[in-house]
Amino acid sequence: MGAQDCSQGPERLLGGLRALWDVGRCYTAIMKFGRPRSLNGLILVGFGLVALPLLVAVLWALVNLGRLAEQSEQLIFTGVAAAENNRLLEERLSSLERVARQYQVLRNPDSLLLLRQDLDTLDERLLEMAPLTSQAGVSALSDSIGINARRIVDALSRPELDDLRAQFAIARFAPLRRQVSEFTGTHSDYVDTELKNLQESTRRAQRVSAWQVAALIPGTLILVLFFTSLVARPIRQIDQAIHQLGQSGFSKSIAIKGPTDLERLGLQLEWLRVRLLELAQEKNRFLRHMSHELKTPLANIREGTELLLDGTVGDLNKPQREVTDILRVNGLKLQQLIENLLSFSAWQTKSEVLTLSDFPLRALVISVAKEQRLALKAANIQLRLEVDDIIVNADRDKIRTVIDNLLSNATKFTPYGGYVTIRATRFSTSFTIEFADTGPGIPKDEAPKIFDAFFQGQHEAGGHVAGTGIGLSVVMECVQAHDGSVEIVDTSEFPGAHFRIRIPQKRIVAQERMAASA
């Protein structure tokens, strides 16, 4: 029985898994035609289906345990009764033999009466043991014992009894004792066999319970994962939608599929997305219109300033030229702010594309530095250029905007008499540009937000023209357009802020082709 049960264990496991699979298929059919519409209903159905196989297993274990307890109790009563009956049966047989031997010697009527009484008691004991005798399969032996005992008594009760016949009758007690010993031994063996069967049934029930647990654990996990996915999928969609809104991704519509309460939440998020998109479009339209409106008078101001510096309207003395230079520098700063606004608006609407070309990076950095020489000179800031003479492939105007904004930002935060370092290096698949200053640096709590549009830090030094808070945002947009990255470097080399820009190079630039051909 044990080997057969062990071989059937995997079959029970597969059977349990098939049952759980059938439960899942039934649930799928139910969900198709009568799916719980609310999140609470779905959770309750899930808990019910997960608990159902566990409840069935517990009920089966309780029923099986009750059956084993009942069998154990019955076997205990049977064993005690069998032992007691065997003892009494052997005592009756010994008493019958003792009285028979007394009668053989004394031949008195009282001994013969006692002999018949012991025989009746022996028959009653055999009759009382009849149910167990039948279960043990020794009914024939029980009948034989009763018949042989009665023959001995009948032989001793005959009137013509002599010593020879009495001795012959007494001699028949020896095989009768062997029959009784065999009879009682069979009863004991039967009780032992039933005890072993009960032990085997207990072990078999334990094995079945173990296989059920082995089948229920993965099955329950499958059901838990199944219902978790049903609940987690719309929640994950909501999380992605919120993340999308947080990243200003208003173009993609939001559709949540799942329980009705989560679908209603999805509809509210879609309404919020549409409203945010409308506000973003209104903001961009306002920025474009205002920027274009500001460019016309600014162009006139710059043109007039250039005419003054060129001496077209007359020569200027030294104080007048200094004032005109201040007007020119601030006009350039104002133009930069307006161009940042236009660039920011264009990136928000995703209307600009890259115009890639090969150009020398060092010459571009020097050109931008010359435009800001007056601001650097006014603050007595030293500019340290550590730019290799390299050719890069990128959008020249966007890289110029990046350099211009970062240099202007470094100048604004560098104290009087400090220095700004610009470092550029070319690698095999990319090039980097680094900007570092000797200013107060970037507070850790502001670092995650400095590239957000319109964010202005608390340690801004200020200047003649207040910042708009979109300079670094435009830098991030320009770099991301090149599939590049901007990071804040935390090193002890520079006391202030340290930015590193990495722009990938997807093809061989002209300088490398010329070196290869040479």
Residues of the chain with pLDDT under 50: 1-10, 13-14, 16-17, 20, 23, 30-31, 33, 351, 460-466, 516-518
Res 315: pLDDT: 77
Q: What is the pLDDT of residues 238-280, one digit of tens each?
A: 888 887 777 666 667 877 777 777 778 888 888 888 888 788 7
Res 130: pLDDT: 86
Please state the pTM of the whole predicted model: 0.42
- Decide if domain 275-350 falls under CATH 3.30.230: no
Res 348: pLDDT: 55
Q: What is the pLDDT of residues 179-200, one digit of tens each?
A: 888 888 888 888 888 888 888 8
Domain boundaries for CATH 1.10.287 within the chain: 275-350
Backbone angles phi, psi at 393, to 5 degrees: -115, 110
Res 516: pLDDT: 46
Res 13: pLDDT: 46
* Closest C-alpha among 466, 446, 464 to residue 455: 446
CA distance 197 to 203: 10
Res 249: pLDDT: 62
Which run of H or of E encompasses 434? strand 430-437
Q: How far apart are the first and last CA of the chain?
A: 88
Residues 428 and 497: beta-carbon distance below 8 Å? no
Which residue is listed with tokens 């200003």? 248
State the CATH architecture for 353-517.
Answer: 2-Layer Sandwich (3.30)
Helices and strands in the chain, H and E counts: 14, 7
Q: How far is CA 62 from the centre of its chain?
A: 34
Which run of H or of E encompasses 424? strand 419-426
User: Mapping DSSP to helix (H, G, I), strand (E, B) and coil, where does residue 99 land?
Assistant: helix
Domain boundaries for CATH 3.30.565.10 within the chain: 353-517
Res 25: pLDDT: 55
